Amino acid sequence: MRFMIIVKSTPEFEAETTPQTPDEKLMAAMADFHEELAKAGVLLDASGLQPSRKGWRIHYDGQKRTVIDGPFAEAKELIAGFTTIQVRSREEALEWSRRFPNPVGENAPAVIEVRQLYELDDFEPSAQVERFREMNTPSQK
């Protein structure tokens, strides 16, 4: 089972104009936690995202697509980063996520959200599901 731990953005993250010198204590806590995930064999990926002002959204209206450049309002609805893990159960994912360091720093308000990813086995078998399965299978050379 794969889960994504989503770090919600903050107005401070969104206002960042240049990469800040990271808080060494926070970076150490994050590094320690992700190192534990890696040693346990459950870490798949982890990364921070640049502020939304450097991104864009695509709005769909029928066949029409409109590009809207960032920044985007409501920082609390945006994502600042993520960690993807693969574990045996929802309970294991919950245990790992409870240990996730506060992404803003000790004693500051912050939110992380955890969502389970769909697996191809969750869908009814079809030719299109098989196409995705083949794309996600490393080639055997």
Rounded to whole angstroms, the Cα distance separating 137 from 141 reads 12
Peptide bond into 71 cis (omega under 30): yes
Check residue 77 and give its pLDDT: 84
Confidence label for 19 from pLDDT (cuts 50, 70 and 90): low
**CB 65 within 8 Å of CB 58:** yes
Question: pTM of the predicted model, to two decimals?
Answer: 0.86
**CB 64 within 8 Å of CB 70:** no
Confidence label for 37 from pLDDT (cuts 50, 70 and 90): very high
Q: What letter would DSSP give residue 118?
A: P
Backbone φ and ψ for 111, nearest 5 degrees, come out as: -135, 135
Q: What is the pLDDT of residues 83-125, one digit of tens each?
A: 999 999 999 999 999 999 999 888 889 999 999 999 999 999 9
